[in-house]
């Protein structure tokens, strides 16, 4: 009798301990899953094309408006490229509207297949060193992860970025390059528009912000799409 009581007590205590452990563990995981930010936001299709009546932001308007001469000036072959900056590597990126503020950008190169490598550290953004520095003529490229294998990363909210938002790049020489977002689009990686993203920017200093998007491809374990934000220099 006394034996069985002891045995029963022990079993009861063990059960209590197990209960507590399970509660803590289960509750913790559940809380994390419940409070987890969920899948990253994807760009709205309305953000994918530049606004039709492109406002002054997309054109180097000051150059035109300061010229008092009449409009039919098309004979002049010299093109004015508007605002451009001297080369200087980026050191920080701020996008206030989606609460991005990241310092210590890493250098990104091309891998053996000629593809742009991603930053090794999910909590750091990277700059493609083969391209222009942000502020120079051409498409400067900054890429960052949308998430790690556990938590959101630098560009988690990139898909939420809207046309007209500002992206501010601090540069090594102490100057700041401010860009305005023209559009945000999502592409299957298999149909990545290389020419659009990396091609000629017709004299403008532009910025490309790239991250992952869409669904996870079960075969590769990677996201199937890329989200790309296009922006141009305003000063």
Partner 1 sequence: MRTTIKLGTATLGSALLLTLGAGMAQAATSADGNTMAKLRPVALNGVDASGTAMVTVTGNRIDVTMAASGLLADSPHAAHIHFGAEARNECPTASDDKDGNGTLNTTEGGPAYGPIVVSLTKSGDTSPKSALAIDRFDTAPGGKISYERGSINVSSDVAAAISAGKSAVVVHGVDHNDNGKYDGETKSELDPKLPTEATDPAICGVLASAPSGGVQTGGGGTADNNQALGLALGGGLLLAAMGTGAFATRKVTNRI
Considering only residues 114 to 133 of the shown chain, the ones binding partner 1 according to CB under 8 A are 114-119, 122, 128, 130-132
Please list every residue from 28 through 67 that binds partner 1, using CB under 8 A: 28-34, 36-40
For position 72 contacting partner 1 by CB under 8 A, the verdict is no
Question: DSSP characters for the chain?
Answer: -HHHHHHHHHHHHHHHHHHHHHHHHHHHHHHHHHHS--SPP---GGGSS--TT--GGGTTHHHHHH--S-S--TT--PPP---------EEEEEEGGGTEEEESPEEE-B-TTSPBPPPSSTTS-EEETTSPPBTBSEEEEEE--SB-SSSB-TTTTGGG--TT-EEEEEETTS-EEEEEEEEEEEEEGGG--HHHHHS--TT-EEEEEEEEEEEE-TTTSSEEEEEEEEEEE--
For position 22 contacting partner 1 by CB under 8 A, the verdict is yes
Among the residue ranges 64-72, 160-168, 173-181, 186-194, the one whose residues contact partner 1 (CB under 8 A): 186-194
For position 142 contacting partner 1 by CB under 8 A, the verdict is no
Q: Count of residues binding partner 1 (CB under 8 A)?
A: 90
For position 2 contacting partner 1 by CB under 8 A, the verdict is no
Please state the closest distance from residue 144 (CB atom) to partner 1, in A: 6
Please list every residue from 166 through 185 that binds partner 1, using CB under 8 A: none
Please state the closest distance from residue 112 (CB atom) to partner 1, in A: 11
Please list every residue from 75 through 94 that binds partner 1, using CB under 8 A: 77-81, 84, 86-87
Please state the closest distance from residue 24 (CB atom) to partner 1, in A: 9
């Amino acid at each position: 009798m006394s034996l069985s009581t002891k045995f029963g007590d022990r079993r009861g205590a063990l059960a209590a301990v197990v209960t507590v452990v399970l509660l803590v563990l289960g509750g913790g995981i559940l809380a994390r899953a419940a409070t987890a930010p969920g899948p990253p936001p994807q760009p709205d299709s309305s953000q994918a094309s530049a606004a039709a009546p492109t406002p002054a932001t997309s054109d180097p308007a000051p150059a035109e408006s300061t010229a008092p001469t009449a409009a039919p000036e098309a004979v002049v072959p010299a093109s004015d490229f508007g605002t451009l900056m001297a080369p200087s590597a980026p050191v920080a990126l701020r996008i206030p509207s989606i609460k991005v503020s990241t310092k210590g950008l890493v250098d990104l190169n091309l891998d053996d297949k000629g593809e742009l490598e991603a930053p090794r550290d999910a909590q750091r953004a990277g700059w493609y060193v083969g391209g222009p520095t942000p502020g120079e003529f051409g498409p400067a490229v900054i890429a960052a992860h949308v998430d790690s294998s556990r938590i959101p990363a630098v560009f988690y909210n990139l898909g939420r970025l809207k046309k007209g938002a500002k992206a501010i790049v601090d540069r090594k020489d102490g100057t700041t390059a401010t860009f305005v977002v023209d559009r945000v689009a999502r592409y299957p990686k298999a149909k990545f528009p290389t020419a659009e993203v990396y091609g000629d920017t017709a004299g403008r200093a532009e910025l490309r912000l790239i991250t992952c998007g869409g669904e996870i491809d079960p075969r590769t374990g990677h996201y199937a799409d890329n989200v790309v934000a296009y922006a141009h220099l305003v000063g």
